[in-house]
Structure 1
């Protein structure tokens, strides 16, 4: 029965979030959304319930084809773009953002200071573990694995395993050996 409700909800979001495409997509019940006109999702997009997606000040979100997102996603874009590459899987309770508050002026509360925005890119065929936080300016290469509860900031090459808080590369694919090797 719940899939019938998901389909009806999908028809509504198809006009906004999916820009009229995505017949093989489904979208679960949101918690909050703002600025869906600045969100573009591809074909076979799967978004489980409990999501919060928001864009502000011209921020954009581009989600490519065949992306699956677990429940509890929090996705924020301010001024710049957040991109999620095709065939990526995002586990539950993940936060992805391209913005942060300034904090330099000691005479102004942090929440009143200017936002700092940096483009955030998740490459193709990535896997983002449960509870991970992807911070502003992060660039993940193709086929990266982000461990559960990792706090990720920075640029990471193709085919690496990233874990920890702060996250660092713990494994990388070695093409000469045709296997994943630990990074010391």
Structure 2
């Protein structure tokens, strides 16, 4: 637990470079943070080591709301306005982006082609399992649970469990019975 004192100190030092940095919070040793002045971080945000946060583009932003937990080895990249809403939990080895790369012109390397930016948002109180890939254009509603190693693209409603490659809704919360019910597809 002593190491977290260093994480708090690091967060305090880095906070002057972020667009917004709420307190308290902590930051483990990052791999890289690009576009710090375009990243807003709420209160009680916990970011573990080896995170990679990237904001590309003049009018882009990354917004991490209050009480978010981001585990180790997470890579989040924004080319538009990527939002992670309050109380979301993102487990290790996860990738979240709002950018797709063009690949149509076979005479130009993929990384030299234009980027397509699509709205991407992680809803309030979402739980993202280990090793998940959240692709551009994904919008998760409130309290979505995403199973480990899922590849997610699309718009998903509040209170659902999503899993698979490609990810699909496998359960929804039933407010009448107060249970999570399996969805047949």
TM range (shorter): over 0.9
- Shift, 1:104, TM fit: 1.1
Change in 2 beyond 3 A, CA 1:113/1:18: closer
Q: 1:132-151 counterparts in 2 under 5 A?
A: 132-151=132-151
Give unpaired runs (5+ residues) of structure 2.
Answer: none
Structure 1 stretches (4+) deviating beyond 3 angstroms? none
Whole-angstrom CA distance in 2 between matches of 1:146 and 1:26: 25
Give unpaired runs (5+ residues) of structure 1.
Answer: none
Give the corresponding residue for 2:14: 13
Give the corresponding residue for 1:76: 77
Whole-angstrom CA distance in 1 between matches of 2:148 and 2:21: 34
Whole-angstrom CA distance in 1 between matches of 2:107 and 2:8: 50
Taking structure 2 as the reference length, what is the TM-score of the superposition? 0.94
Taking only aligned residues, the RMSD between alpha carbons, in angstroms, comes to 1.2
122-131 vs 8-17, which moves further: 8-17
Whole-angstrom CA distance in 1 between matches of 2:174 and 2:180: 6
Give the corresponding residue for 2:129: 129
Whole-angstrom CA distance in 1 between matches of 2:22 and 2:181: 40
Change in 2 beyond 3 A, CA 1:56/1:134: same
- Shift, 1:20, TM fit: 4.7
Tell me if structure 2 keeps the 8 A contact 1:89–1:127. Answer: yes
Taking structure 1 as the reference length, what is the TM-score of the superposition? 0.95
